[in-house]
Structure 1
Amino acid sequence: MTEHTTVIVVGAGVAGLTLGNMLQRNNIDCIILERRSREYVEQRQRAGTVDTRGVRMFREWGLGQMVDAGGHPEVEGGFFIDGHAMPIEVDDDNESIFIPQQTLVHQLTDRFLEGGGDLRYEIDITLENLEKPLVRYQDTVIAGDYLAGCDGDRGVTRASVPEGALTRYSREYPYSWVSALAAVPARTSGMGIHERGLAGLIPRGTENSRLYLQCPVGDTPDDWPDERIWSEIEARFGTAVATGPIIDKQIVPLRSVVHEPMSHERLYLLGDAAHIVPPMSAKGIHLALFDAETFARGVIRQVREGDGSLLEQYSQTCLHHVWNYQAFAAWITDLMHDAGDPSYTGEFRKQTARAELQRQFESEAANRVFSELTSGVM
């Protein structure tokens, strides 16, 4: 027998679960299929910032509880250049929150299931006929009117698009990050720019901290023993930090990627399946939420009014937004890294980058544009 649903959603990350909740609240049936186990998905440690646009979006869709609980604990934050704290004024209209991605995923999952949603884990699928989407796994066949590919950069959905139908644009950055998870509460949070390189220290719940350190491409975790990580964090921030056991470390390459178009026949790509931004920008969740909302509005209008115009414009609408934030992500990534260690791009670029940074503190116009982009409302 063949099951039928309006939307087959592949992937139970932020994009897929947000989409599922939006459709559910509008009485449009969907099935979410996830290759991994629920335990794996909800324990996967990833950064998470829901900016002002995202917070307002959740509340507009009646999902405000997703962001009203689970944010980071209050800690002293700062922005440091060569150990000197820089003044940061937070816009009164800024509603952005930090929330670990796994916490957001857990809350979205609970909400979807409590509403009677159909969410299936450990499902290894094959896709057939993207013009009339058909999904197979084991002895099950699911037909859908639309297929939402929310399964990330290495997922099966984008890989099912015929060769040549999509164009990939990408940029690899000339440095990487050491990313370490430490079993110690963060008493300080923020970013440090130093001639030794960039550093980041971010809370992960009440008990853990995430540490970031700029490093050369080609470094391995073995090049970064725990003692070196803590030493570099303190040196680059110029202040003592609470130390503790490091329970995970990895090297993260930085890259920007966009696939055009973001749809093919009745397959629509959302989130990392369509684009990737470097983590410095904190815009991965922002773009995933924008895609989910844009696609949800298109499906709702099609089902309710028989008007497919929003779905037809999905790729164009999203790409206009994606490229705007890719430009921001590339700019802030270059700026924050170039202003530190001159061995990557030279002393001249270091000085011009620092002048650009200083402008953000001294110019109301520059700060206004920066604030609109960081809050996601531009």
Structure 2
Amino acid sequence: MRTQVGIIGAGPAGLMLSHLLHLQGIETIVIEKRSREEIEGTIRAGVLEQGTVDLLNASGVGERMLKEGHIHQGIELQFNGNRHRINMEELTGGKKITVYAQHEVIKDLVAARVQAGGKIIFNADHVSLHDIETEEPKIRFEKEGMGNEIVCDFIAGCDGFHGPSRQAIPNIIRTEKQKVYPFGWLGILAETPPVNPELIYTNHERGFALISTRSPEVQRHYLQVDPNDDIKNWSDDRIWTELHARVDSEDGFKMKEGPIIQKNIVSMRSFVCETMQHGRLFIAGDAAHIVPPTGAKGLNLAISDVYVLSNGLLQFYQSGKKEILDQYSEICLRRIWKAQRFSYWMTTMLHRDVNHSSYEYQIQLAELDYVTSSIAASTSLAENYVGLPFEIPGYNFKMNSASLSV
């Protein structure tokens, strides 16, 4: 097989890249180790930044998101038993967030690629990368026991943290930076009506809690727990008791209970790979970086990565120039590290660390008090939460439903 851009991974990064390149007449083949049913059925949360929403809409895949997504103008921070609203729309000149699950974004992108006749190869086993330092890099994989090879101009590694793409970058030029947090999140899906119009982030002496929305019938909530705890130790009654203790507030607000249809515990960490490119290989999304979910940046960083990469590839195929591609890592990492900073700040401000002294806990509360009482601090939080701009220094790219243009 031969294509212009071979894409490994059918997550948000890989599918969005394939879709954006298709709009420019650039051919791609996407290979994915899982089945279509699995990638569309793996339930993942999703808080979409304004820039992500704008790009999905401009590229023609935002119709269902606009109908079914929940637009939030603000968030609420709760501490000392009281809630304080951050009006993000007001503080950022009209920018908002949209709560729309990641697997729903994937469904929309897969449907768009299938409708356009795009090639997505599911259930691809034993994927490997070859000749990435040449002008004809190759992707090899097995499908139903048969060996296959894709010859490309470029490879986009969008295959997540455990995929082979990042490992194909030689250790001598690849630096990996990581922080593991001493707490995890117990996440539940519960069949209840919405608890609150907007997300509630709670700092409580018993630990962090997040109250979110999913649909009119199903909600998503999180509790800070020991990352090594066993989900079997958490009965439904224990979960609701803990949510009541951390979230019920002095103004009479109380959690709404209902059947819990899913629950699991995940650890939390931050990770960045430098560099994000080598030869004709470019990595994006979770293959290059992981953020704790507190700042809601994971999917959005994946989309901003492929925004840069798609423009770089467009420049190459239109003019033969590689100015953007040559700067891909530098451009992306500037935004990535700002998102890492924000996610780290939100995480450390809101979670109760067992290693904290009473002094350090009081500093957390003082930080929350400052953020909710200072216009400057509230604006900083709002600007980062709704998303920093998608930028490529020196260029002014604009998206419409048919094309990218300089």
Which TM-score band applies after superposition, normalised by the shorter structure? over 0.9
Ranges in structure 2 where 5+ consecutive residues have no aligned partner: 390-406
CA distance in 1, matches of 2:128, 2:54: 36
CA distance in 2, matches of 1:129, 1:157: 13
2:272 corresponds to which residue? 258
Percent of aligned pairs with the same residue? 34
2:182 corresponds to which residue? 174
1:126 aligns with 2:128: yes
Aligned-residue offset at 1:185: 3.4
CA distance in 1, matches of 2:336, 2:61: 24
Q: 1:303 aligns with which of 311, 314, 317?
A: 317
- The answer (yes or no) to whether the contact 2:183–2:225 under 8 Å persists in 1 is yes
- The answer (yes or no) to whether the contact 1:55–1:95 under 8 Å persists in 2 is no
- 1:14-42 per-residue CA deviation (whole Å, 9 max, x = no partner) reads 11111111001111000111110111100
- The answer (yes or no) to whether the contact 2:177–2:273 under 8 Å persists in 1 is yes
2:384 corresponds to which residue? 373
2:78 corresponds to which residue? 80
CA distance in 1, matches of 2:75, 2:57: 26
- The answer (yes or no) to whether the contact 1:133–1:266 under 8 Å persists in 2 is yes
Farther-moved stretch of structure 1 (187-196 vs 352-361):
187-196
Alignment of 1:136-147 (within 5 A): 136-137=140-141, 138-147=146-155
User: For the aligned residues, what is the CA RMSD?
Assistant: 2.0
- The answer (yes or no) to whether the contact 1:44–1:102 under 8 Å persists in 2 is yes
- 1:299-338 per-residue CA deviation (whole Å, 9 max, x = no partner) reads 000001111111010011111111111111111110111x
Aligned pair in 2 of structure 1 residues 270, 109: CA closer, same or farther (>3 Å)?
Answer: same
Give the match's secondary structure for 1:228. Answer: helix
Aligned pair in 2 of structure 1 residues 200, 98: CA closer, same or farther (>3 Å)?
Answer: same
Alignment of 1:1-378 (within 5 A): 3-65=1-63, 67-72=65-70, 78-92=76-90, 93-124=94-125, 125-131=127-133, 132-137=136-141, 138-188=146-196, 189-238=199-248, 239-337=253-351, 341=352, 343-377=354-388
- The answer (yes or no) to whether the contact 2:202–2:208 under 8 Å persists in 1 is yes
Give the match's secondary structure for 1:240. Answer: coil
Instruction: Report the AA paired with residue 98 of structure 2.
Output: I
- The answer (yes or no) to whether the contact 2:71–2:98 under 8 Å persists in 1 is no
CA distance in 2, matches of 1:208, 1:170: 34
- The answer (yes or no) to whether the contact 1:14–1:105 under 8 Å persists in 2 is yes
Aligned pair in 2 of structure 1 residues 206, 344: CA closer, same or farther (>3 Å)?
Answer: farther
Farther-moved stretch of structure 1 (107-116 vs 53-62):
53-62
- 1:43-67 per-residue CA deviation (whole Å, 9 max, x = no partner) reads 1111111111212233444444364
CA distance in 2, matches of 1:140, 1:58: 32
| Superposition TM-score, scaled by structure 1 size | 0.93
| Superposition TM-score, scaled by structure 2 size | 0.87
CA distance in 2, matches of 1:52, 1:344: 36
Give the match's secondary structure for 2:2. Answer: strand
Give the match's secondary structure for 2:208. Answer: strand
- The answer (yes or no) to whether the contact 1:58–1:66 under 8 Å persists in 2 is no
Instruction: Report the AA paired with residue 103 of structure 2.
Output: Q
- 1:185-226 per-residue CA deviation (whole Å, 9 max, x = no partner) reads 332342222111111121223332222111124212122221
Instruction: Report the AA paired with residue 316 of structure 1.
Output: E
Aligned-residue offset at 1:271: 0.3
CA distance in 2, matches of 1:329, 1:18: 23
Ranges in structure 1 where 5+ consecutive residues have no aligned partner: none
Give the match's secondary structure for 1:242. Answer: coil
- The answer (yes or no) to whether the contact 2:74–2:86 under 8 Å persists in 1 is no
Instruction: Figure out how many residues of one structure are paired with residues of the other and give that number.
Output: 373
